[in-house]
Amino acid sequence: MATSSFDKKFTLDTEKAVDSFVDIFNNPVNSIKIDRSLASAEKSEGGTERLKKILSL
């Protein structure tokens, strides 16, 4: 992973870290298209009801 060369203070202390950081911004990841038809209103309501049942135990 490109961010593995960063420390907790977010210090780019090596040339590899700088190159990795620059690469993240120069080559953004293409967004993933989500098929909204998979999450129909009926499925969403059913999932909400199941979640409420689980949380009410």
**What is the tens place of the pLDDT at every residue in 15-37?**
888 888 888 888 877 777 877 77
Full-model pTM = 0.36
Alpha-carbon gap, residue 42 to 11, rounded angstroms: 48
Cβ-based neighbours of 14, under 8 Å, separated by 6 or more? 5
**What is the tens place of the pLDDT at every residue in 43-54?**
778 888 888 888
Alpha-carbon gap, residue 42 to 33, rounded angstroms: 21
Alpha-carbon gap, residue 39 to 34, rounded angstroms: 10
Cβ-based neighbours of 3, under 8 Å, separated by 6 or more? 20, 24
Identify which has the larger pLDDT, 39 or 21: 21
Residue 2 pLDDT > 60: no
Contact call for residues 13 and 7 (beta carbons, < 8 A): yes
For the chain, the structural domain boundaries read: 15-55
